[in-house]
A and B are shown apart, each in its own frame.
Chain A
Amino acid sequence: MFLYYVDLAWRSIKKTPILSLLMVLAISVGIGITITTLNVYNMMAFNPAGERAEQLNTVQLWSQGPDSWADYHSQVTYQDVMNLRKGKVANEQAAMFRSGMAVQTDDPQILPSLNGVRVTDSGFFNLFEVPFIYGNSWDKSVDEQAAFQAVIGKKLNQKLFGGENSVGKTIYLNRKPYQVVGVIDDWHPQPKYYDPTSGAFSKAEQIYIPFSLTASEEFSVWGNMSGWKYERLDDYQDRLGSEKVWIQYWVDLPTAEDRQSYKRYLSQYVEQQKELGRFTDGKSPEESAQLSNVDAWLERNHVVPEDNKILLGLSVLFLSVCLVNILGLMLTKFLKRAPEVGVRRAIGASRSQIFSQYMVEVGVIGLFGGLLGLAWAWGALYGLSARFGVAEGLTHLSLSMWVITPAIAVGTAMLAGLYPAWVVCRTKPSVYLKSQ
């Protein structure tokens, strides 16, 4: 009977093309807007760390003094990072910040270009499961004994070396030679959860160099640097010894026990620092340090802005308004066909069969609305991308949306169609048989 109902639905749509088109348009506009905002929301709220989201943690320290920040800062000071790195309590750890440098090779044909550079530890690649196509990360010993080594991205490798295995070759960063030890594949987690402070939906860097070079090379910081008190910084070394926070510090703590143990380690560290005259806000050592897993970290950095949630709510509200309109149109359309229902009821159709017939019709209209809504959503996202330069990661219609959208459209249309179908299936056949 289902195919029979689909056939009847198609005939009915063809019979009242304007009314049907109005319904399809109403659904499609509602669905298009909802899916556009839902897609952006999903992309923002997506946790790219997957199963490792719980075990990857950032460290936050309440290093500020009294009457300053009212919450933990996302980043930590250089001196804290250097101290914590020495402890090596975590399974894996990586300090990092974003910098930028001019890149050159020995090939004079390739013009120098300014690139974002991630200054980090060797643990970065393990922590975030970065895929390599050639070579590997620099050795762990380089995290202690600085060496001019670099890992580059596939795209840059293509540009500088034509895509061939460049391990062992030299690139120049701000005119200093760095030996390429590894080339990573295209890797752009969205959101860029390891450092949302420098653009949660920007692309991953194409160059990675050892954090251990920071003190000697005095890399500029292409990110946020905050301070809670006035400090005179005459040179780079002053910055390294200051209370300025500008570095993210990640640790890998696979089990709950590891996390508890690491928290104890942090408390002990804070206690030591208090003895040295730091961490002066009067909080206990336990209250002065915290770990944030990936979910908490993304929330802390407002990767999904509150406005976006409100917008999502409003779009759902708009969809509801569309559905109420559709309900009215359907009621009009269905009641016009009450005499036909009367005939069908008289010659043997039960109420449930009539109800099913009309629900299938509603479903077919919903499906058309959903498909058109997908086109609207795709167009809207493309428009956002082209007109406002919204990050590409946010304007890509995710694969799941191509399936979810028609399902939502059919589901919501059927919800709106419940009442009209119920009304028409309760048609008293005797009322219409005589009057037809």
Chain B
Amino acid sequence: MLTMKNINKVFKTDLVETHALRDFNLSVQEGEFVAVTGPSGSGKTTFLNIAGLLEGFTHGDYFLDGVNISNLNDNKAAAIRNEKIGFIFQGFNLIPDLNLAENVEVPLRYRGFSAKERQRRVKEALEKVGLGARMKHLPSQLSGGQQQRVAIARALAGEPRFLLADEPTGNLDSLMARQVMELLEAINKAGTTIIMVTHDPELARRAQRNIQIVDGQVCDFTLYQGGQNHQVDTMEQAAS
């Protein structure tokens, strides 16, 4: 579903060049739940931004659903983000002036759905995350965990093919974090591919596959199946 080949991302200033990603290779299959870990500054967020078409890259090829999206213009990238990708952020990133229903409705507006269809999807998504009764509340009236669930509902409302989550539990206490994680697992079981960046090894272990990024490169793959940890011998083996 998602294939990156020799992706390089270089940030240039007048004085220095910083290689955020270096010959980065990765393949994610449909329905997978992949956790991405690594130390701060290793390139996790850069990878996620490139995967979510929020940033371009310097070299390499990126295939999404078999389509090379290396040279997409802004309108096409925005349309793909809107239709295929859902985002969940550490800081929730809800729009504070809009109530829950209106927040969830935002991506549907840009997609051009009718009012009736938007209403149906918003209701369905909020009910799915257990907030169907609080549609008219403002984000500031909710706890952190609830806000993150709204963000998940917003990501789900457009029925994306995959979710990109950047430390989705980073701002939550352990109880809230567990609830959000359970929600993500349920979403994944329903068929949505998830790539989640996290610092938390506990959460990473709950994913089907764990990728570690160090200095802008994939350096370790670990498969977790039925609670068993299987270290993969080579990167080629794991990336496939």
User: Does A434 contact B166, Cβ atoms closer than 8 Å?
Assistant: yes
- Distance of A143 Cα from B75 Cα, bound (Å): 79
A352: chain B residues at CB < 8 Å are 75
A429: chain B residues at CB < 8 Å are 54
User: Does B55 contact A348, Cβ atoms closer than 8 Å?
Assistant: no
Closest B residue to A436 by CB, please name it: B91
B49: chain A residues at CB < 8 Å are 430
Residue of B45, B97, B111, B154 with highest tally of chain A CB at under 10 A: B97
- Distance of A353 Cα from B82 Cα, bound (Å): 13
A346: chain B residues at CB < 8 Å are 52, 54, 81, 87, 93
**What's the least CB distance linking A423 to chain B, in Å?**
15
From 110 to 130 in chain B, residues with beta carbon under 8 angstroms from any chain A beta carbon are 110-111
**What's the least CB distance linking A126 to chain B, in Å?**
63
Consensus secondary structure, chain A interface: helix
B186 close to A (CB within 8 Å): no
- Distance of A31 Cα from B193 Cα, bound (Å): 55
Contact with B along A420-436 (1 / 0, CB 8 A): 00000000111001111
Closest A residue to B89 by CB, please name it: A433
User: Does A348 contact B91, Cβ atoms closer than 8 Å?
Assistant: no
Residue of B45, B79, B89 with highest tally of chain A CB at under 10 A: B89
B158 close to A (CB within 8 Å): yes
B95: chain A residues at CB < 8 Å are 340, 343-344
Interface size on A, residues (CB 8 A): 26
Instruction: Name the contact of B54 in the complex, choosing from A11, A339, A350, A433 (C-beta under 8 A).
Output: A433
Residue of A4, A428, A434 with highest tally of chain B CB at under 10 A: A434
Closest A residue to B49 by CB, please name it: A430
B82: chain A residues at CB < 8 Å are 347-349
B81: chain A residues at CB < 8 Å are 346-348
User: Does A343 contact B93, Cβ atoms closer than 8 Å?
Assistant: yes
A15 close to B (CB within 8 Å): yes
B202: chain A residues at CB < 8 Å are none
User: Does A428 contact B89, Cβ atoms closer than 8 Å?
Assistant: no
**What's the least CB distance linking B21 to chain A, in Å?**
13
Closest A residue to B52 by CB, please name it: A346
- Distance of A436 Cα from B158 Cα, bound (Å): 23
Consensus secondary structure, chain B interface: helix
B145 close to A (CB within 8 Å): no
B107 close to A (CB within 8 Å): yes
A85 close to B (CB within 8 Å): no
A118 close to B (CB within 8 Å): no
Closest B residue to A350 by CB, please name it: B78
User: Does A353 contact B74, Cβ atoms closer than 8 Å?
Assistant: no
Residue of A11, A12, A348, A435 with highest tally of chain B CB at under 10 A: A348
B106 close to A (CB within 8 Å): yes
From 403 to 434 in chain A, residues with beta carbon under 8 angstroms from any chain B beta carbon are 428-430, 433-434
A18 close to B (CB within 8 Å): no
A1 close to B (CB within 8 Å): yes
B109 close to A (CB within 8 Å): yes
Contact with A along B67-92 (1 / 0, CB 8 A): 00000001100110111000101110
A345 close to B (CB within 8 Å): yes
- Distance of A342 Cα from B79 Cα, bound (Å): 15
Residue of A1, A346, A347, A428 with highest tally of chain B CB at under 10 A: A347
A434: chain B residues at CB < 8 Å are 45, 89-91, 166
B109: chain A residues at CB < 8 Å are 1, 4
A342: chain B residues at CB < 8 Å are 93
**What's the least CB distance linking A58 to chain B, in Å?**
63
A430: chain B residues at CB < 8 Å are 45, 49, 54-55
User: Does B91 contact A11, Cβ atoms closer than 8 Å?
Assistant: no
A351 close to B (CB within 8 Å): yes
Asked whether A347 and B107 contact (CB < 8 A) given A11-B97, A15-B97, A436-B93, the answer is yes
Contact with A along B28-64 (1 / 0, CB 8 A): 0000000000000000010001001011000000000
A343: chain B residues at CB < 8 Å are 93-95
User: Does B110 contact A433, Cβ atoms closer than 8 Å?
Assistant: no
A348: chain B residues at CB < 8 Å are 78-79, 81-83, 107, 110-111, 158
User: Does A349 contact B93, Cβ atoms closer than 8 Å?
Assistant: no
Closest A residue to B158 by CB, please name it: A348
B90: chain A residues at CB < 8 Å are 434
Instruction: Name the contact of B78 in the complex, choosing from A4, A340, A345 (C-beta under 8 A).
Output: A345
Q: What would 18 A/B residue contacts be, using CB atoms closer than 8 Å?
A: A15-B97, A344-B110, A346-B54, A346-B87, A347-B107, A347-B110, A348-B79, A348-B110, A349-B110, A350-B75, A350-B78, A350-B110, A353-B78, A430-B54, A430-B55, A433-B93, A435-B91, A436-B91
Considering the complex of A and B, which 6 residue pairs feature the smallest CB-CB distances, nearest first? Answer: A348-B82, A350-B78, A348-B110, A347-B107, A430-B49, A436-B91
Beyond known contacts A433-B93, A434-B166, A436-B89: 5 more, CB 8 A cutoff: A346-B87, A347-B81, A351-B78, A433-B54, A434-B89
Using a CB–CB cutoff of 8 Å, the interface residues on chain A facing chain B are: 1, 4, 11-12, 15, 339-340, 342-353, 428-430, 433-436
